[in-house]
Structure 1
Amino acid sequence: MVGHEHPATKGITMYVVTGATGSLGRLVVRQLLDRVPADQVAAVVRDKDKAADLAARGVELRVADYDDPASLRGAFAAGDRVLFISGNEVGRRAAQHQAVVDAAKDAGVALLAYTSVLGGPKADFDLARDHQYTEQAIIDAGVPHTFLRNGWYTEVYTESLGQVLERGALVGSAGRGRVASAARADYAAAAVAVLTGEGHENKAYELSGDVAWDLDEYAAEVSRQSGKEITYRSVTPEEHREILTAAGLPEPVVALLLDIDGAIARGLLAGTSGELSRLIGRPTTPLSDSVAAALRS
C-alpha cells in the first residue's frame, strides 16, 4: 500500500476489489468509479502492470496473491468493504480462499462480499464445492459478510459464438434444461450495490437472470440475429465426453463441462428469484442483447 496513513484512519470507507484485473473485477471497478471517488477504490492484483490503467484513474493498487498468505496481509485494512471474487483454479481454491478469509478477518474488514454459486449449500454439482467450503469458512470466521450467489453468465455461451457460427451448431448434454443467465455486467452491478449500500450484512442473495432459456432457444436467437442457421445438437453425457476429448480438451475441463451440463439438465441453474434485478434496480440484460453484443464484437 502506498502512503503513510491509511484512509480508514481518517474515517474514509475504502471499497476493495480482489481479482480486479479479471473480467468481472474490471467491470466492478469501472462501475464503482461511477459511484464513489477514485481515491476510495482499491484493486487487489497479482500484477501491477496489468492494472496500470486502473492506477491511471486514481485507483489504489494492493499487490497480493491468493497463493501467498503473507502477501494478503497488506491487501485489507480495518473498515474496508471488500468484494472477494473467487479464484478460477478449481481444485486449488479451498486453500486460496481460506487465506483470503483469514487475512480479511485479521484486518477487521467491515464487509466481505463473496462471489459464490447459485443455490449455495443446496447446489449438488462439483463446481459448487469450493464455494460451499468458502461460505462456511467465512461464517466460521465471524466476518460481516454477503454471499452473492451468482448464476450463469451469458458470456459463458456468447464468448464462444465464433466457433458456433463456424460449425453451424452447438453441442451439449444439458438436454432441455433451462439457464436463467445474466450478463457479467449485471452481476458486477449487484456487487457494487452491496458494497456501496446498507443492510446487506450476513445475507445471501440468489442471483440470476429474469428469464430462463434452453439451448434450442439460444440457437434460434443466434440464427435470427446472424442470419445463419444454427442448431443445438443434444447428446448423451457419454457422447459429449467423447466429442470434448476428441477436441483435445484436458480431462479436468471435460469433467467440469459435463458436470455443468448435468446441473443444467437437473434444473439447478434455472431459478428466477428476481433478486438480481431487485438489487440492481433494473431488469437483467436480455439474452438477445448479449447475443447482439457478441456478434458486434
Structure 2
Amino acid sequence: MQHNEMMERMRHGQGFIAALDQSGGSTPKALKGYGIEEGDWSDDQEMFALIHAMRERIVTSPCFSGEKVLGAILFERTMDGQAGGKPVPEALIERGVVPFLKIDKGLEDEANGVQLMKPIPGLDDLLARAKPLGVFGTKERSVINLANPAGIAAIVEQQFEVARQVLAHGMMPIIEPEVNIKSAERGAADALLRDALLRALDGLADGEEVMLKLSLPEEANLFAPLVGHPRVVRVVALSGGYSRADACRELARNHGVIASFSRALLEDLRHQMDDQEFDSSLGSAIDEIHGASTAKVTG
C-alpha cells in the first residue's frame, strides 16, 4: 500500500484499528491476561520476547487481515521486530493493515485533574526511522480524570503540539486524550474535551488533518461534531476498561466512530491455546468489534 491508499483506508474503510501497543509498564498485565504469570520471565528482555510472540501470533493469524482490520498500533519494539520472518510493518502492509506507532513515553503525575504526556526525547529521529519502514502514523495518549477546564485545555494544547511535529514528517497523528470512564465527572469532561478539540481543529492549517482516539462518551453521539469536522480523518474509540461486550454495545451507539481496542480485542486469547483455538477466538473478537464499528444502532 502506498500512502494515498493508506489514507483512503483510514478515511473510508469499513473496519477497525487493533491496538497492539502495550509498553513496558502495561506489559506484565497484558501477559497475565494472556495466561503468562509474572514469575514466568527473569528479566525485561524475556518479558518483551513473550509479548512479541503474542503479537506475532496475532498479526500472522489468518483472520487478522485488511478485510476487517484497517490498521494496527505498534509498540516501538514491535515495529522493530519480525512477524513470519518479515519486519512487522511490512507483514501488516502485505495483509492490507495500516501500521501506526505509539510514540508517547508515559504520563506525568496528575495536575489540574489530568495527566499530560511525559517529554518525548528523540521524537524526530524516531519518526524519521519509522516512516521508511512503512509506518503511516502515530498514537499519543494522555488522560483526563476530572472536568477541569484548565487541565483539559493543557491536554489538548500538548496533543496538538506533538501532532504538528508528526505532521511535519508527513505522517498521520492519532490524538488520544482519554477520559477516564470511571470519573465521577465523566460527562462534563467529555463535553469540555469535545469543545476544546473543536477549537484546536479549527486552528489547524489548510491541508493539516488528524485522527482522534477518544473514550466512548457517556452521552451517545456527543462527538458527532468531531466525526464531521473537515480536519478529522477518522474518530476511533478506545475500550477504556470496558469488557468487549460492553465496549461493542457502547460503540454501536456512536455513529461514525470505529474501534481501536486493545484489552477488549485480546481478552479471550491465551497462550496455552492451540492454533485452531487461538484463531477461532481471535476471529470471533474481530467479527464482534468489526460489527460494532460498521453496524450502528439508535437509542
Tell me the TM-score normalised to structure 2 length. Answer: 0.34
Larger Rg, first or second structure (1 or 2): 1
Tell me the TM-score normalized by structure 1: 0.34
